Amino acid sequence: MSRRVWFFVVILVGIGLGLAYGWIINPVKYVDTSPDTLRADYKTDYVLMVAEAYHKDNDVSLAVRRLAFLGNTSPLELVQQSIVLAGQAGYSSQDVGSMVALAQVLETWIPVAQGTP
């Protein structure tokens, strides 16, 4: 066989062995990952779930604690970013409305310091 055929055979065998090693023999195991490592679209889904939960229980401090899992960004900023991404991704108007309602509440929310009477 010609050198070109051997070249492509060796390349295909290398790719096959690499995939077998990475997917079967020693796959990556994600352990104890936090929600702040999510992609932006999954973060938007998470914010939507928090907004829907807030709609049911009306507990702003619980919603803020849930949003805190997404990193050090302020809860209001997270919700505003998610509203923009939800609009771009084609979320329903009801879903976007839930996030807008949560954002409106967060705009007026004042955290209560622990230990104050």
pLDDT score of 12 = 96
Residue 113's pLDDT band, with cuts at 50, 70 and 90, is low
The answer to whether residues 76 and 103 touch, using CB atoms and an 8 Å cutoff, is: yes
Dihedral sign for Cα atoms in the order 91, 45, 74, 101: positive
Q: What pLDDT, in 10s, does the model give residues 23-71?
A: 999 998 877 777 788 888 999 999 999 999 999 999 999 999 999 988 8
Using alpha carbons, list the distances in angstroms from residue 4 to 18, 33, 45, 99, 105: 21, 45, 49, 58, 66
Amino acid at 31: V
Distance of CA 75 to the CA centre of its chain: 14
Among the listed residues 83, 81, 77, the one whose alpha carbon sits nearest the alpha carbon of residue 95: 83
Q: Is the pTM of this model over 0.85?
A: no
Residue 112's pLDDT band, with cuts at 50, 70 and 90, is low
Structure tokens at 1: 């066989």
Cβ neighbours around 27 below 10 Å, total: 8
| Average pLDDT of the residues of the chain | 89
Residue 10's pLDDT band, with cuts at 50, 70 and 90, is very high
Q: Which helix (H) or strand (E) holds 80?
A: helix 75-89
Cα–Cα dist 53/101, whole Å: 12
